[in-house]
Every structure is written in C-alpha cells, then in structure tokens.
Amino acid sequence: MSFYRPHPRQRRTCEEHKAELEEENYHLRSELQTEVDINHQNERQINQLKRDYFQCEQEIQDLNREIERLENASEEEISELKSEFSSLKNQLYQARKDVQDKGKYIFSLEVRLVESEK
C-alpha cells in the first residue's frame, strides 16, 4: 500500500491555512456587519412606520368623532328646523285667520257705513 503524499510544493503550511481562514473570517465578519447595519436600518424604518400607523389611527378616530359630532349636530339642526317650520306654519295659519277676521270686520264696517249713509 502506498500513501499519497502531495508534492512538497503543493503542501500548504499552517501559516497559509491560518491566513486563508483569517481572510475568510474577515470576509464573513464584513458580511455580518453589513447584515447588522441593514437590520438596524430596517428596525428604524419599522419604528417609523409604527409611529405613522399610530398617528393615522389617531387621525381616523378624530375624524370619526368629528363625523359623529356633525351627524348629531345635523340631527339637532333638523329637529330645530322642523320645530321652526311647525312654528312658522302655525304663525301663517294665525296670520291667515287674522286676515280673514279683519276682512270680515272691514266688511261689517262697510255694511254699517252703507246703512248709516242711508
């Protein structure tokens, strides 16, 4: 049996292996740092998006409250307008009645005037 032995020029020394491993380690650490930086950037972006989301939620709640207030105000205004309409309708009825009564009174005065002239 023969053992395979690389040619002496093909043999690598421990120092060469160590240098190669250190270079690979440096490369991997560099990639890791890049990933860490990207993660930090993503975390900042996520935090900003969370803040934006919270602001939007608050704005939606404020707008919903405003809509509710306006709907209630609108209902109150409709109620007030209905009441005012009813009141004006009653006043119009009373004014027509007064005109009719005054018309009758004027007619009776005219009749009395004609009778008194005779």
pLDDT by 10s per residue, the chain, length 118: 555 555 555 567 888 999 999 999 999 999 999 999 999 999 999 999 999 999 999 999 999 999 998 888 888 888 898 899 999 999 999 999 989 988 888 888 888 888 888 7
| The CA-based dihedral angle spanning residues 68, 69, 71, 73, taken in that order and rounded to the nearest 10 degrees | 160
**Residue reference for tokens 């005037």:** 113
Q: Does this model's pTM top 0.75?
A: no
What are the start-end ranges of the E strands in the chain?
none
Helices (H), 1-118: 14-117
Alpha-carbon torsion (22, 25, 30, 33), positive or negative: negative
